Structure 1
Amino acid sequence: MSVWLLPENIADVLPSEARKLEELRRRLLDRFRTYGYELVMPPMLEYLESLLSSAGPDLELNTFKLVDQLSGRSMGIRADITPQVSRIDAHLLNRQGVTRLCYAGSVLQTRPVGLHATREPYQVGAEIFGHAGLEADAEVQQLAIDSLALAGLTDVRLDLCHAGVLEALLDASPAARARAYELFAALGGKDVPRLVELTADLPAEIAQALRALPKLYGEADVLERARAELPAFPAIRRSLDDLAYLARQARGAQVLIDLADLRGYRYHSGAMFSIYADGVSSALARGGRYDHVAAKFGRERPATGFSLDLREVVRISPIEAYPSAIFAPFGDDPALRERIAALRDAGEIVIQALPGDPRAVDEFDCDRELVSRSGQWQVVARAGVR
């Protein structure tokens, strides 16, 4: 095998993609800061019991594991940064009030989420800890929409769901609770025949409600249909009220309700959302409430947030951010060297040609150049550039 080949679903990030990724990373983190989010940088490696916390079996299966040569303990390479941020809030910061944290970094996953997806996503996200109200859910929901807009993706769809609906139905039937994982999988895949099979021996009211969930999809008025078709359990009513509120708060996205879009259900404890764009089969961003994740760290408190794979966003982003640059000729003239240094100190990109290679650099927009006029090196517009 050639030594330059990489593992399946692992790839280098080349200049054109890296340029866009870094540009969008900066834009997103700057936007998070305007909301008051503080940047944290968790490590790539942690002990498994800390890294996995209570996020469910899917995260465990997706985590690469190894043995620490110093301690002999099992360690993992992070497949999701959110549990790490929850640990930081619960154990290291230990603040009493609301805490807003954000992050950006690579994660490594044992399996890709899609056919052509990478196993090394670049995860960017934001989390709010310490506020149980829907105001926090609305904030992260809007921040996710704004983040995609910064990447030039304005025609997006926000799908809302709520873990409380399924939880209420499972609580009402021990038999349904016993096969929760199978029901969750059938609902997530909208596998109606399998759903009918799984609910055949359940109480009629519960079976009918579970079979109705995949059909409760559409614009916000589908919530009224849900109120009519689902049992009048207080928990279900509260969940539907939550979704109605969040649907009203969203700006800059088409809002749809999908009561069977339960991906991440075992992780979330309340309202959940996914954001999609035309031509992309998987969600660009996912988020929701997860109040119980920090319990393993000894400090359970309200939490909600979202994350996205910036590499996937970069792949479809229409933004072409070629940095403006100044092209300088090669030469040993002290005045030229001083002028180049002064421009770079002022924040300009100056690309100096090397002997025998006067070409411009593909990844920069060299729209200006340094020319000598009357004994002075001056910056002038450069003809024939993009």
Structure 2
Amino acid sequence: MQASAANALLPTGLSDLLPPDAAFEAAVVDRLTALFASQGYERIKPPLIEFETSLLAGAGAAMAEHTFRLMDPISHRMMGLRADMTPQVARIAATRLKNAPRPLRLSYAGQVLRVKGTELKPARQLGQVGIELIGAEGPAADAEVILLAAETLSALGLEGLTIDLNLPTLVPAAAAALGFRKAAVKSLVQALDRKDAAAVAAHAGRHALLFQALIAAAGPARRAIAALERLDLPTEAAEERRRLGDVVAHLLRAMPKLHLTIDPAEHRGFEYYNGVGFSLFARGARNELGRGGRYVSGEGEPSTGFSLYLDSLIQALPAPVAARRILLPLDTPRAAAAALRRQGWVTIGALHATADMMEEARRLHCSHVWQGGKARSVVKTGARRRKTKA
């Protein structure tokens, strides 16, 4: 039965993934999780939906406004469809893997659903692939996660990688130490996110020059660290600056050519982070490829990790090489078909006798036909016509 136009219509922000894109995405997920596993990150699989009380606990509270909710008809308790997988990993670490040795290295891959998309990312269903390092403090742990992200993306073939570091705790720490009220801190953070120097001056008052200097400090890592060192920060904020500097030092020792930038005033999208955060970009990618950073898990364990966004990643990667498809005549021996598959062919079996196998192969998008015990290349229609005319 032919589907009507009404049946093909999907809700805003949702879409079907068709061949060959769905297979390419699955292959990328397999490659990523294999790369994570090679450095000790073991895969887990959280459920798509769970009770709201656990899903939105701890770091998950930041995702409350993005979460679809519904009533469980069995328990009559409210449930939430996950909008992010990191809180689920934290829950598993605190419960099912509570007695596992720390640090705990976990990886995951799956779909998340959000109430609304954004201007830059209108999709509401997103694929996430990532890792979490749970129960580890210090710059070496932060550096391990950031370096794994860089090495993974490079292994996939992405070029021109940039890691943009930020410190979402810096501004709140400085503002609180300087006596700002909570509402004033929120307004100041929003002004800094917009890079609005005039609004920063209005909210910061006599401390305007200090916070405006944070905007000016953004840039390549070495220059940004030097600019931050020149600022007279309160003790709490100076400690945050030191942590950032330690992480940068670890990264540059490990990968001197890694392109690092720092935006010390950035806070948007890093609401539940309590240390160094980062975003991932690459040449040719229209959007960020992922983000991560340090946070506290549900049981108060120091944690850090990152999530990659599959849609952005797929768009940035080179198109996959088309598989070699060969059309097999009806009643081709199964042993012959199996041998072709072992050689890397995708075998398409004819389901009825066909007089013109070449034409049938073209119709089914096959590059070859199995004839006379050999793989024969399919002549393209245009090429055949030119030959006939000559």
Shared fold per TM-score greater than 0.5: yes
* Distance change >3 Å, CA 16–CA 331, structure 1 → 2: closer
* Distance change >3 Å, CA 384–CA 306, structure 1 → 2: farther
> Number of residue pairs matched?
365
AA matched with 2:370: L
Note the C-alpha offset of 1:318.
Answer: 1.6
Q: Distance in 1 between matches of 2:146 and 2:376?
A: 43
Aligned pair partner of 1:352 in 341, 349, 354: 349
Q: Distance in 2 between matches of 1:60 and 1:85?
A: 16
Q: Distance in 2 between matches of 1:217 and 1:133?
A: 23
Aligned pair partner of 2:177 in 172, 193, 196: 172
Note the C-alpha offset of 1:175.
Answer: 2.2
2:108/2:129 contact within 8 Å kept: yes
Aligned pair partner of 2:294 in 289, 292, 300: 289
* Distance change >3 Å, CA 224–CA 152, structure 1 → 2: same
1:113-152 to 2 correspondences below 5 Å? 113-115=118-120, 117-152=122-157
* Distance change >3 Å, CA 146–CA 382, structure 1 → 2: farther
- Whose relative contact order is higher, 1 or 2, with alpha carbons under 8 Å and at least 6 apart? 1
Query: Could you tell me the TM-score, scaled by structure 2's length?
Result: 0.85
Q: Distance in 1 between matches of 2:240 and 2:121?
A: 38
2:114/2:124 contact within 8 Å kept: yes
Q: Distance in 2 between matches of 1:252 and 1:49?
A: 44
Structure 1: give runs of 5+ residues left out of the alignment: none
Q: Distance in 2 between matches of 1:84 and 1:47?
A: 11
Name 1:222's counterpart in structure 2: 224
Note the C-alpha offset of 1:218.
Answer: 1.1
AA matched with 1:44: L
Name 1:259's counterpart in structure 2: 264
* Distance change >3 Å, CA 88–CA 289, structure 1 → 2: same
Give the secondary-structure state (helix, strand or coil) at the position aligned to 1:100. Answer: strand
Q: Distance in 2 between matches of 1:250 and 1:185?
A: 33
Name 2:43's counterpart in structure 1: 39
1:1-386 to 2 correspondences below 5 Å? 2-55=6-59, 58-94=62-98, 95-115=100-120, 117-200=122-205, 204-205=206-207, 207-219=208-220, 220-231=222-233, 233=235, 234-248=238-252, 249-250=254-255, 253-280=258-285, 282-290=287-295, 292-294=296-298, 299-325=299-325, 327-333=326-332, 336-344=333-341, 349-355=346-352, 356=354, 357-359=360-362, 361-362=364-365, 369-372=369-372, 377-378=373-374, 380=375, 382=377
Give the secondary-structure state (helix, strand or coil) at the position aligned to 2:110. Answer: strand
1:168/1:235 contact within 8 Å kept: no
Note the C-alpha offset of 1:348.
Answer: 5.0
Q: Distance in 2 between matches of 1:174 and 1:369?
A: 77
AA matched with 2:19: P
